[in-house]
Amino acid sequence: MPETALQNLTATPLTSLSEDEILFRENVRQFAEEKVRPLAKEMDEKGVFDKSLIEQFFQLGLMGIEVPEQYGGAGGKFFEAIVAVEELSRADASAGVVVDVQNTLVNNALLRWANPEQKKHYLPRMASDTAGAYALSEAGSGSDAFALQTRAELKGSDYVLNGRKLWITNAKEAGIFVLFATVDPSAGYKGITAFIIEKEFPGFTVGKKEDKLGIRASSTCELILEDCQVPKTNVLGEAGKGYKIAIETLNEGRIGIGAQMLGVARGAWEYAAKYAQERKQFGKSISEFQGIQFQLAQMATEIEAVRLMVYNAARMKDAGVPFVKEAAMTKLFCSQVAERVTSLAIEIYGGAGFTKDYPVEKYWRDAKIGKIYEGTSNMQLATIAKLVLSK
């Protein structure tokens, strides 16, 4: 990896992090370098996430960062979860999204909306040994998230769910799912309800894993519900209020995707900068040519800009102030920068960058998803436009 001369990009201004946060960041970065990066290429090629890594995520407390200590979690802040996602994604975007979905979506939903009994039952599992997944999307329900067709009917003490979910991240690894279905299609979005579903519930099946362009080690699967029995006590929040849970949780999740894209851009930049110093043409390293210098300088500037956006949005969330606009802007711009930086990294490598023998093509493939999941770029623009033009 880059030598001391290349560390400026990875050295966050100390004024923006406390001593504890700096130590946390360094520990996650060391773990990512020593344990995640060596497995990234093989996991990408096989399309399978190494089970032992998830076990280590739990051991390090990375799967329950905001879960209170009384439930076995780390009792940390949202900001720390974002830093963890960034550092893991710098080594492998699939590792970053495993931790991201667990913390910013599933755990956040449970922390905000679960009742005391549900928290007591599920949060210790989320912090110790059980991965989670967030199941909202369907074949006909993507950006129009509330057009979902999965139906939940109350029969006695159980809800019976029927339908299919699509594009569900962490589905293969997850034991607990926050899943959305409608209890009353005629009520539109007001019929949507969130459920806590365990993988072992009767009638619940994880379907095929998608063969994807990027984040290939991260499982993305279909979920099949055929008369799936879910206890009435597993309604998250209130029946008919699932739309509120979905919207507010995704707002937080978008900051996590911003952090993932920041990590991806950083990783690609570091490889490109190091290669530019090593690759010689016309008797000198290509980093001595102004054209390459300007590209690396522009990339570094944009990476620093998105870092500030990610950190600012995370701080706003922790402070309890409105952050919807900032979250949308963060996800939009971070995904744009990640795609641009990783593409330029390939060009700096030249022909070598276009081969799988070198790491930058993977960063480029991993970056593409940033503009698509947890709200496409057009949906972020729509949100931003609504908020900035309403004043």
Decide if 339 is catalytic. no
Q: Reduce the DSSP state of residue 224 to 3 states and report it.
A: strand
Other C-beta atoms within 10 Å of 174: how many? 27
Separation between Cα atoms, residue 152 and residue 187, nearest integer Å: 13
DSSP string, 19-34: HHHHHHHHHHHHHIII
Q: Which residues of 53-79 are buried (b: 16+ CB within 10 A; e: fewer)?
A: bbeebbebbbbbbbbeeebbbbebbbb
Structure tokens of 241? 């209020």
Task: Report in angstroms the alpha-carbon separations of 184 from 154, 234, 278, 347.
Answer: 11, 18, 63, 52
**8 Å CB contact between 342 and 363:** yes
Q: What angle do CA 324, 325, 328 make, to 5 degrees?
A: 85
Residue spans of alpha helices (H) in the chain? 19-31, 37-46, 51-59, 78-91, 93-100, 108-113, 116-128, 242-278, 290-319, 324-349, 360-367, 377-389
Q: Reduce the DSSP state of residue 237 to 3 states and report it.
A: coil
Separation between Cα atoms, residue 83 and residue 96, nearest integer Å: 10
Separation between Cα atoms, residue 235 and residue 282, nearest integer Å: 67
Which of 80, 87, 270, 374 is labelled catalytic? 374
Phi/psi of residue 219, nearest 5 degrees: -75, 135
Cβ partners under 8 Å of residue 298, min gap 6: none
Residue 321, exposed/middle/buried by CB under 10 A (0-12, 13-18, 19+)?
exposed
Catalytic residues: 374
